[in-house]
Amino acid sequence: MELWIPITIAAAFLQNLRSALQKHLQGKLGTRGASFVRFGYGFPVAILYVMCLHFGLGFSFPSLNWAFAFWAVIGGLAQIFATMLLVHLFSLRNFAVGTAYSKTEPVQAAIFGFVLLGEKLTLGAIGAIIVGVIGVMMISMARMPLSWGNMFRALASRTALIGIGSGAVFGISAVAYRSASLSLDGPNSIMQAAVTLACVTTFQTAFMLVWMFWKDKREIVEVLRSWRSSSLVGLAGVVGSAGWFTAMTLQQVAYVRALGQIELVFTFMASYFLFHERVTRMEVAGCLLIVCGILGLLFS
């Protein structure tokens, strides 16, 4: 098994854990505060990770450059706004459906990867990604009669547009992070991904602190008061991001993000067992199609 596969599955699990914790915090901290804790409590762990790789394993620091800075800023800002859209989405639909809407990302990441990086996909991989997207469409229509009219209405609804928009911006951030990591002349992909993660999360923390100080200083106080639960979000987020960054340095973004759709399996389990939310048969069928798309991608 190629190394990027287990790394991606682990990252998807941690991302689901982080999202579940953010949904819990959203009511207390609001959308901006619940989004901030992912970065604010995560960046010290990211820096510690780089230090361990350097002093513990002897990996040398890569030389930073302007191309890295450009892609790191683009990816960092895109991830901030994509996270805020996703956290806001949790207040509009249940946890499983909210996450599912954002899972159009692999197709959008494939398009961005093709346009920005010139990455190619096989016909089998394209077909597998399409199957996964059909699964997402089924989930979006799970609570209404099946028809073409309802499908277009479901996809044009405010909730769907926010979810698809979140997926698009996550797709941009994924391609930007891969570009940033690959622009570094590092000793190996692990160190390149770790340095990218540390730089990006530090930038995101500084950016959001300034934003929150300008908009509402009370949000910073609330984030500090909730340090116990918020630190878990930061830890899960940064370890998961380390996995994503490493996997996307080893493999094309579209393949990594498509396999990452396995997060929906974890999401439905959390939705049912943790949040006690009702899941319909069509939502389950959509989830199964997404899993089939993942398997098709791996064997394509």
pLDDT at 202: 95
Nearest CA-CA partner of 263 in 143, 142, 102: 102
Mean per-residue pLDDT, 211-227: 86
Predicted confidence at residue 144, as pLDDT, reads: 66
For residue 298, pLDDT beyond 80: no
| Tokens 């959308």 found at | 31
Identify how many contiguous H helices and E strands the chain contains and give both numbers: 14, 0
| Contact (Cβ atoms closer than 8 angstroms) between residue 92 and residue 98 | yes
Q: How far apart are CA 4 and CA 119, in angstroms?
A: 17
Give the model's confidence band at 16: pLDDT under 50 very low, under 70 low, under 90 confident, else very high.
confident
What pLDDT sits at residue 50?
95
In this prediction, residue 124 carries a pLDDT of 80
15 or 278, which is more confident? 15
Beta-carbon contacts of 227 under 8 Å, excluding residues fewer than 6 positions away, are 41
The yes-or-no verdict on residue 110 having pLDDT over 70 is: no
Query: Scanning the structure block, which residue is given the tokens 């918020």?
Result: 230
Helix (H, G, I), strand (E, B) or coil at 137: helix
123-179 confidence digits (pLDDT tens): 887 787 788 778 777 776 666 666 666 667 766 677 778 877 888 888 888 889 889
What one-letter code names the amino acid at 205? T
pLDDT given for residue 171 in this prediction? 80
d(CA 244, CA 197): 10
**Mean pLDDT of the residues in the chain:** 81
Residue 245 confidence class, pLDDT cut points 50, 70, 90: confident
Mean pLDDT confidence for 210-224: 87
Q: Is 279 left (phi over 0), alpha (psi -120 to 50) or beta?
A: beta
Helix (H, G, I), strand (E, B) or coil at 58: coil
Q: Is the pLDDT of residue 73 over 90?
A: yes
Residue 259's Cβ-count burial label (10 Å; 0-12, 13-18, 19+) is buried
pLDDT digits (tens, 9 = 90+) for 180-201: 998 998 778 889 989 999 999 9
C-alpha–C-alpha distance, residues 212 and 156, integer Å: 31
Instruction: Give me the mean pLDDT over the 219-233 stretch.
Output: 86
Q: What are 282-294's pLDDT values in tens digits?
A: 777 877 787 787 7
CA angle 209, 68, 186 (to 5 degrees): 115
Q: Is the pLDDT of residue 111 over 80?
A: no
